[in-house]
Structure 1
């Protein structure tokens, strides 16, 4: 009864994957369902319009794909991954009100106009300084915009800090950011939001998901129980990547279920 609710297709500027190929991969891996969450990153300055989403085409094709490939044993949802920036909150609200998404991931990819995906983001700062900027802006974003269902890859910035600087220089020392993590996680809990467990980290050679198990334990100890699962796949082979590693660890922490959002309402799925 596992689902992958974070994946990208050719509707996203960084993927060439066919939706049908993603569906077939999920079925081969015996998932119970998937949700497409193609990118929208407005005002993406490094590569302008790379992550614009053609909503008219998206909602023309996805319902037909769902109709032709869904079954009682396999659910297909249509969602979005929104790249949050505080000044875009009203624009994002207008989009979520207009279109019938099943699921909205709120992610932070851009900090003060720059994506930590690119090494230039780190040129004038240490990894730890970059991380602090990132986590502070995550908190600012979730305070500015509330119409999302799960917070995507909370420590996204660490993927690329480790890529460019390696360990231990770019290790994310939990205690350095504990106070900010606490603010973020308490905000999610108080506002009924989920925290995404993103296994895409394994594509980058990381040994833990985003966020880390330490952050997930902290969330659980604060009373957080709402999580979502997604592999952030951009090609079929990565659908549900790392699930076999992550789920036993989530159960050790204490999690016994995860959320799948359908028509913006969470359904609890037991592990």
Structure 2
């Protein structure tokens, strides 16, 4: 069964989707889902993008099955390593995504992050932050949306091109490969041919550097986005010789 491994429901500050809406949509599509609520410790806006993990398990444990897995999406930053590690080690998550959302205590979504700065400067800092965190966040299972910054960057062409940032991207991919971590094929943007053209060389390079597994996640915050563009994600994985997996009890399982 196909598993959408990146879903946000009411426990995420930016989602209004209920667990029942998510399950209903997944059932209609014939897919399984992994709920991965946002946990961005020390987020610059108080009480945003954090949730009560005890409540999360108390409310959602009854739904846990071969159709629904319980995970978390951690916002990786250097000043939260110990606390994030404690969260993972003290809870029975099926799956842990590590993502870069905040740099220098500014959300990448925020226009201020790009003010009076060149694309080269901003993107090098983005990858430097990713490299630094991946060296210490050995307790994640997959790197979330490597192209996250391209969603929000205030540049005429926000795409990430491997040939422009190959040195930094290689460092990211080598760490993942050496630690046998997955890379996420985030499906939010891949219907755009320009995005697809930019991302495929990165996924191919991951395989060349020893990476073997990938997760596919819609990053859905509303029911209609669950499973979106998964046919494209499956084609990307096949084209790049990567095996799609989902995680149960932190163990990868191949999607057949």
Instruction: Using structure 2 for the length normalisation, give the TM-score.
Output: 0.94
Is residue 2 of structure 2 the alignment partner of residue 2 of structure 1?
A: yes
1:132 and 1:42 map into 2 onto residues whose CA distance is 23
Is residue 193 of structure 2 the alignment partner of residue 195 of structure 1?
A: no
Equivalent in the alignment of 2:54: 56
2:198 and 2:135 map into 1 onto residues whose CA distance is 19
Question: Structure 1 8/207 Cα, relative in aligned 2: closer, same or farther at 3 Å?
Answer: farther
Instruction: After superposition, give the CA deviation of every residue in 1:147-182 in whole Å (9 maximum; x if it has no partner).
Output: 110011112111212xx3232xx3323222101111
Between 1:245-254 and 1:261-270, the stretch displaced more is 245-254
Q: State how many pairs are aligned.
A: 256
Equivalent in the alignment of 1:93: 85
| Equivalent residue for 1:65, pick from 63, 69, 75 | 63
Gaps of 5+ in 2: none
Report how far residue 200 of structure 1 moved: 1.9
Q: Give 1:74-113 correspondences, 5 Å limit.
A: 74-113=66-105
Gaps of 5+ in 1: none
Equivalent in the alignment of 1:40: 39
**Does the 8 Å CA contact 1:5/1:36 hold for their aligned counterparts?**
yes
Question: Structure 1 12/100 Cα, relative in aligned 2: closer, same or farther at 3 Å?
Answer: same
Report how far residue 209 of structure 1 moved: 6.1
Instruction: After superposition, give the CA deviation of every residue in 1:21-42 in whole Å (9 maximum; x if it has no partner).
Output: 01111111111x1110000001
Instruction: After superposition, give the CA deviation of every residue in 1:198-234 in whole Å (9 maximum; x if it has no partner).
Output: 112259x675369811110111122211111110000
Is residue 215 of structure 2 the alignment partner of residue 216 of structure 1?
A: no
RMSD of the alignment, in Å?
A: 1.8
Question: Structure 1 90/100 Cα, relative in aligned 2: closer, same or farther at 3 Å?
Answer: same
Instruction: After superposition, give the CA deviation of every residue in 1:59-100 in whole Å (9 maximum; x if it has no partner).
Output: 10111233xxx4xxx521000000010121111111111111
Report how far residue 244 of structure 1 moved: 1.9
Question: Structure 1 50/206 Cα, relative in aligned 2: closer, same or farther at 3 Å?
Answer: farther
**Does the 8 Å CA contact 1:199/1:242 hold for their aligned counterparts?**
yes
1:12 and 1:207 map into 2 onto residues whose CA distance is 30
Question: Structure 1 209/30 Cα, relative in aligned 2: closer, same or farther at 3 Å?
Answer: farther
| Equivalent residue for 1:241, pick from 225, 228, 233 | 228
Q: Specify the SS of the correspondent of 1:99.
A: coil
Question: Structure 1 60/41 Cα, relative in aligned 2: closer, same or farther at 3 Å?
Answer: same
Equivalent in the alignment of 2:24: 24
Q: Give 1:105-254 correspondences, 5 Å limit.
A: 105-161=97-153, 164-167=154-157, 170-202=158-190, 207-208=194-195, 212-254=199-241
Q: Specify the SS of the correspondent of 1:201.
A: coil
2:196 and 2:127 map into 1 onto residues whose CA distance is 17
1:6 and 1:29 map into 2 onto residues whose CA distance is 16
**Does the 8 Å CA contact 1:122/1:130 hold for their aligned counterparts?**
yes
> Structure 1 segments of 4 or more deviating over 6 A?
none
